[in-house]
Structure 1
Amino acid sequence: MNFHQVQMGSLPSVLKIFRRVKSELKNQKNDQWKWIYPNRSNYKADLRNGSMYGISYGDELIAVVTLDNMQSKRYQLISWNDKDGKPCCIHRLAVDPSHQGKGLGKVLLQYIENFAIRNGYTSVRIDVYKINETAKALYIRNGYEERGEVRYPMRKHTYVTMEKQLCKLS
């Protein structure tokens, strides 16, 4: 497996992963991702900005995630542990359903945390749809702590904000 920055030429593979994930979420009665978000514009912006990373197995892109320091304004109301550091934010993490259940989530989190440390981040933050118990359990098993909840438009449920401190500030 290879963790790498995803290039614009991989857009068809990115679209395929998100199409499959959205279909799987719909089958699970999870309205987390709909047609409005995430969408092709989000993916293209991530690729243009150089903020999308992925895991490839051979020539196949099997998981993607966007990593940056862009935080929702809603995060200002959350009591974060890392108050004075530089948080890395996870957006649009997706593992192709045909590769789920094989430990890729944990591997991806390890890559993300190593990336964050190498780039001077002091913590990692994410928000997870409240009914996505599988994702919440993955983050908790890997040392992420629940910090609060935020609400986004056109979603039935709230999102649980989670954080993992990577290093202590001196």
Structure 2
Amino acid sequence: VQNMLQSGINQWSDEYPNREVLSADTERGELILGIIDEQIVSAYVMNCDADPDYYNADWQYPDANWCVVHRLCVSPLYHRQGLATQVMEYVEQTAKEQGFSSIHIDTFSGNPKALNLYHKLGFVDVGEAFWARGRFVIMEKKL
């Protein structure tokens, strides 16, 4: 979070995601960690929980069996090394194996690195939401 704030990306704060959110993710078995040399280097949540604002999006595949990726992050020590791409490729493979045919995701409109990553991976903008930290872009990818 501190690295994001120092980079001028106000997507997250001490309020979100907080310990309670991450503890709940862990208790449900939905928090997935990437480990290299016994260090946590990435994390994300994949489930079928969508914010109500998702239902206003212009989905390309409204009847698809979809999942949502939440809270994707990569350690600053591994930025610009392709790890986020590798994590998302793993997410896509896992989603396919679990029978999903599309992935939904959102990111802060002021986070150009995340927007570029998702667009590069084939995600398409389908809507927007205005939450406490500002405007977020809602995206979809057909698997």
* 8 A Cα contact 2:122 2:141, kept in partner: yes
Percent of aligned positions that are identical: 28
Structure 1: which 5+ runs fail to align?
A: 1-21
2:89 counterpart (110, 113, 117): 110
CA RMSD across the alignment = 0.9
Partner deviation per Cα, 1:3-27 (whole Å, 9 max, x = no partner): xxxxxxxxxxxxxxxxxxx101111
What is the CA distance between 1:55 and its match in structure 2? 1.3
Structure number with the higher strand fraction is: 2
What is the CA distance between 1:148 and its match in structure 2? 1.4
Displaced runs of 4+ in structure 1, greater than 6 A? none
Structure 2: which 5+ runs fail to align?
A: none
**Aligned AA (1:165):** K
Distance in 1 (alpha carbons) for counterparts of 2:33 and 2:60? 28
Per the alignment, residue 139 of structure 2 pairs with: 162
1:59 counterpart (23, 38, 55): 38
**Aligned AA (2:113):** T
1:26 matched to 2:30? The reply is no
1:119 matched to 2:98? The reply is yes
Per the alignment, residue 76 of structure 2 pairs with: 97
What is the CA distance between 1:58 and its match in structure 2? 2.5
TM-score (norm 1): 0.82
* 8 A Cα contact 1:65 1:92, kept in partner: yes
Work out the number of aligned pairs and report it. 143
TM-score (norm 2): 0.96
Distance in 2 (alpha carbons) for counterparts of 1:34 and 1:61? 20
* 8 A Cα contact 2:10 2:110, kept in partner: no
What is the CA distance between 1:28 and its match in structure 2? 1.4
1:76 counterpart (55, 76, 81): 55
